[in-house]
Chain A
């Protein structure tokens, strides 16, 4: 393994590859910070430019985009409550309230540092365990995915800040919305009142509407309130010491992010939701999560960046994409004439090891851009709010269009923006809705697949050891909420 790493270093530490890496990080930052442009879209857009590159440079550039854009999604989430990536939605829960308190500089620095540690820890885990974790990815079949979705939904009690009943209403509303479109198993139409809805409500435009656009409406209301706080960009510490109070959370979240990332289809959104839920549950200040607790940002960012490396484990060892972006990476590899699969480590060890080295070398670049850039980005909070609101609304529309070049997606963003705003005024937070949108399809399709496989015997479905274990966790989480209101830590 050491030989392979050293060999990969000689391949990566060349001018061309490093240039590709830096370009990748910069593009990743940009793509990540734009709501609507996800890392997978950014990578797909760049693939034609990799035709003429060496395989190493091409792969390193794509991986740099992937990692950097996953971090950058947190920047607009913190500053204007508009997550640039689905995984950053959780970052907004505490990041935006901090920003409103005038602590955006601190929030940004914490988020980039936590992302950096998350990426580092998970990359090291990836190097050590890529081939072992592959079996973990395969252990997840329909029954296990169903149970995982139930665990995710059980976090609702932990995630909600206000009334649990209203959070449940939001969750069920989200689950109902997910069923619109073509039935995942039988293929028949459900609540398709326009052919445009055949594919269901697109997730990304709905997310942009629920978070970013609904925030624009809040800004319309408060346009006249004068901003009399001082952004603290210059005073906020860049030092890793800022993270010290949260180091347990950072490490735990990195681990959660990596493991969730390994499971194909789970991805950054679920990683950050789970990590946030666990951090809230275990924190001495759990009650202040959602009102601007730095620990919430740290938990979310460490986990969503760690999930990036996690998603690479099944890709490199089995050729199974752990996320949409990993699927694009497979496309990038295929174009270079490399077929990811179980033989990649044997036939082309330089590819996985160059990815490892590329991730590690890219980290300082990503951190430098993030920390230096924070001073700049925080200036957004100085711009008069109506101007910010106008530009954010326009970007929401452009972003949701660009995701798939479809005006229909803009309509979804607009409608969900109004829904999100109205729900907020009724104290129904977007978080449970997003939770349901992420997990709804995973829950239903896999339950039904598992039931078909088990001849409609539900007991046989939950007899799978991993599924059973996860379901027990799903039962314990809400129970611990009922009986353990006061954390023992304080």
Chain B
């Protein structure tokens, strides 16, 4: 494994011009081993949390208390994650490289999705949606103004006529 475990391919960061996009797509290449180690490491940590939390729970008279199942699942999660990491390291050559295309847009999209609920809670659905939908549309890859307007209109119409009026959902 070289020091360039994670390499950023920056051919064509300018994918905004809409020409020959499929050729100029930025790609983040991460070795499969690294992906496995990161995710299984995280899952192993979650497993440890459930194991410790489960063991710390006060049981009742019954043989299986509230903490029994969390402790068992936590322990299993740790063991299986460790096994996967072990296998990944041993057989690293065989794991394919994981390619993340348009990585910056992807991360931006995730951030937007995660922020959306809190923003809705704070400012109300419609004010947020009017801004959020076109911004998200841009991030996803809509480049024509008509497309952005259409997507926003569809979403707002659905929210207004279907959810709010037909189904009586009081949107925040």
A touches B (Cβ under 8 A): yes
Chain A residues close to B by CB (< 8 Å):
30, 34, 37, 45, 165-166, 168-169, 172-173, 175-176, 179, 183, 185-186, 188, 190-191, 213, 216-217, 219-226, 384-387, 389-391, 393-395, 397-398, 401-402, 405, 407-408, 410-411, 414-415, 417-418, 421-423, 425-426, 428, 444, 447-448, 451-452, 456
Q: Which residue of B lies closest to A394 (CB)?
A: B155
> Across the interface, do A390 and B60 meet the contact criterion of CB distance under 8 Å?
no
Contact A220:B105 (CB < 8 A) given known A169-B80, A186-B65: yes
Chain A residues with CB below 8 A from B172, complex form: 407
Contact A394:B120 (CB < 8 A) given known A220-B139, A386-B147, A414-B113: no
Docked Cα-Cα span, A223 to B108, in Å, equals 14
> Across the interface, do A221 and B101 meet the contact criterion of CB distance under 8 Å?
yes
> Across the interface, do A220 and B109 meet the contact criterion of CB distance under 8 Å?
yes
> Across the interface, do A386 and B137 meet the contact criterion of CB distance under 8 Å?
yes
Q: Which of B22, B54, B62, B113 contacts A417 (CB under 8 A)?
A: B113
B107 to chain A, nearest CB (A): 10
Contact A179:B70 (CB < 8 A) given known A223-B141, A397-B116, A410-B117: yes
Docked Cα-Cα span, A449 to B79, in Å, equals 28
- Of residues 92 to 139 in B, which have CB atoms within 8 Å of A's CB atoms? 98, 100-102, 105-106, 109-110, 113-114, 116-118, 120-121, 129, 133, 136-137, 139
Q: Which residue of A lies closest to B70 (CB)?
A: A179
Say whether B145 faces chain A, with CB atoms less than 8 Å apart. Answer: no
Docked Cα-Cα span, A452 to B65, in Å, equals 11
Main SS at interface, chain A:
helix
Docked Cα-Cα span, A222 to B141, in Å, equals 9
Chain A residues with CB below 8 A from B80, complex form: 165, 168-169, 172
Contact A414:B114 (CB < 8 A) given known A176-B74, A188-B58, A191-B50: yes
> Across the interface, do B46 and A176 meet the contact criterion of CB distance under 8 Å?
yes
B30 to chain A, nearest CB (A): 9
Map CB proximity to A onto B54-81 as digits: 1 under 8 Å, 0 otherwise: 1001101011111101100110110011
> Across the interface, do A387 and B147 meet the contact criterion of CB distance under 8 Å?
yes
Docked Cα-Cα span, A407 to B114, in Å, equals 12
Top 6 closest pairs, chain A to chain B, by CB: A223-B141, A224-B21, A410-B117, A386-B141, A456-B63, A183-B66
> Across the interface, do A425 and B98 meet the contact criterion of CB distance under 8 Å?
yes
